[in-house]
Amino acid sequence: LRSERERQDLVSPVQERVRTSPSEKKNPGFGRDFRVQQEFTKRAIKRLGSLVLIKISGRMSSSAKFDFVVFDWKGTLEPKLGTKKLKEDAGITAVLSALQIDRKTLEQALNEARESLKTEVVTKVDLMNKALLRLQVGEQTRSKALAAFREGHNSIPSKGGLYEGATELLDKLQEHKIPIALVRNSTLPAEDFQNHVIECGAGKYFDINRNVVMSGVIGAAKPHRKIFEAAVLKCGMVALQNSHPERILYIGNETDVDIVGGNAMGWKTVLIRFTETSSGGTASYEVDNYNDILKLIFKTRQ
């Protein structure tokens, strides 16, 4: 704003309005700062025009469909699975990408192949080959799919890490200066979680003091609105939330926790189907891997 006096002219009546509101008298505390900033931003935008939105929100990307991306952690960025299962899942994801088929169809073929083999011991590659034969995949295409399976399987280090494709997406978001945040249900001490994020190779993307919000710190868990509002306030999303909440994208793996909470904020939501097969139409989008999310975010605007 042009002067401190102008700022006070705008914010003082807002502070008074919030302090005397019935909801603030009933539940004083957390919501006050969020509501003051929210109302203040609305008034500032109305008085000074859209340039204020750009000033507060930072650079808006002209090549991306969304201006802010928020992630869940466990089961979304970091697998809930053990290393053995994680490697198999990475191989399956690679096959899905190579063949452009849905996960449910491939997993059904894999289950049928396991059932037909019964007690016979085969390698993961042999099992995948039998599943692809059941889907009547041609020899040349099948050979490429199996190569993709091996590559995906071997891409996961034995100590684990993020899902395949997650790092590429995070790098792309940073490259395009699209802000990111992380909202997690966890009572783990903040410092311990930060150390874990670093061990998983995500320390350069997420910092507990800058863009990470945890339920144990906030005192509310997803899908409660309070934890999402805390993320809006902490991560500088107030202006965008007030003007274009649909340009905030939330990515999660659980419908009842992630998708429901994100939808309630007016955000667009993505169910990444690592642990659930469908949101039943609740999510704005449903995808099988991070490559699909990359295409979604950087789709050319109409």
What integer is the mean pLDDT of 20-46? 55
Residue 88: pLDDT band with limits 50, 70, 90: confident
pLDDT in tens, 231-281: 999 999 999 999 999 999 999 999 999 999 999 999 999 999 988 989 999
Question: In percent, how much of the chain has pLDDT > 90?
Answer: 55
Beta pairing partners, 251: 71, 270
Sequence-ordered list of residues with C-beta below 8 angstroms from that of 78, at least 6 positions apart, any chain: 160, 161, 162, 163, 200
For residue 58, the model assigns a pLDDT of 42
Q: What is the pTM of this model?
A: 0.61
With a cut of 50, say whether residue 224 has pLDDT above it. yes
For residue 10, the model assigns a pLDDT of 55
For residue 17, the model assigns a pLDDT of 57
Tallying the residues shown for the chain, one arrives at 302
**Most confidently predicted of 44-48, 89-93, 145-149:** 145-149
With a cut of 50, say whether residue 147 has pLDDT above it. yes
Sequence-ordered list of residues with C-beta below 8 angstroms from that of 166, at least 6 positions apart, any chain: 77, 290
> Helix crossing, 31-48 with 50-57: angle to 10°?
140
Give the range among 10-14, 33-37, 56-60 with minimum mean pLDDT. 56-60
Residue 180: pLDDT band with limits 50, 70, 90: very high
With a cut of 80, say whether residue 22 has pLDDT above it. no
pLDDT in tens, 100-142: 888 999 999 999 998 888 766 678 888 999 999 999 999 999 9
For residue 52, the model assigns a pLDDT of 40
For residue 2, the model assigns a pLDDT of 45
With a cut of 50, say whether residue 1 has pLDDT above it. no
Joined tokens for residue 257: 């926790």
What integer is the mean pLDDT of 10-26? 55
Sequence-ordered list of residues with C-beta below 8 angstroms from that of 34, at least 6 positions apart, any chain: 229, 230, 232, 233, 238
Are 103 and 277 spatial neighbours (Cβ–Cβ below 8 Å)?
yes
With a cut of 80, say whether residue 60 has pLDDT above it. no
Specify the DSSP element, H or E, that contains 234.
helix 225-234
What integer is the mean pLDDT of 174-181? 96
- Look at the block and give the residue holding tokens 């340039």: 51
